Amino acid sequence: MTSYQWIDLEDGRSVYRKVETYQPKRSHLACPMVATDSMEPVQSMLDGKTYDSKSALRSTYRAAGMVEVGNDPARLRPRKRPRPDRKAIKDTVQKAKARFDRGERVRPN
């Protein structure tokens, strides 16, 4: 960031100069976000035990070969497949047929 300020020289003069000011990147929050390992007690869908540690719960899932999934509804939505450009396909086939009818052949190397 650049700013301007008055600088007093040794000979008694003052000059208005550009001064580079460095400000470290900081959040407007008082402290960084902390993701803790603790949570409200939940009952495991796998073994029925109650866990209050995310890592302990996930380790039991991993040990059993399970995959933990969230509740994001977007994952259940069908994905939109791109529609083929029928006109471009038709033009390409017509060009290939015309080249074949003219006698052009592709020779493998």
Question: Whole-model pTM?
Answer: 0.40
Question: Of the segments 8-12, 23-27, 28-32, which one has the largest average pLDDT value?
Answer: 8-12
Instruction: Average the pLDDT over 37-55 and give the result.
Output: 92
Q: How many Cα atoms are found within 13 Å in the side-chain-facing hemisphere of 77?
A: 6
Q: With contact defined as beta carbons under 8 Å apart, do 39 and 52 qualify?
A: yes
Contacts (Cβ under 8 Å, ≥6 apart) of 37:
53, 54, 55
Q: Where are the domains of the chain?
A: 36-64
Task: Evaluate if residue 94 carries a pLDDT over 90.
Answer: yes
Give per-residue pLDDT as tens, 62-87: 999 988 887 878 878 888 899 999 99
Burial of 57 (0-12, 13-18, 19+ CB in 10 A): buried
How far apart are alpha carbons 39 and 55 in whole angstroms? 10
Look at the chain and count its residues: 109
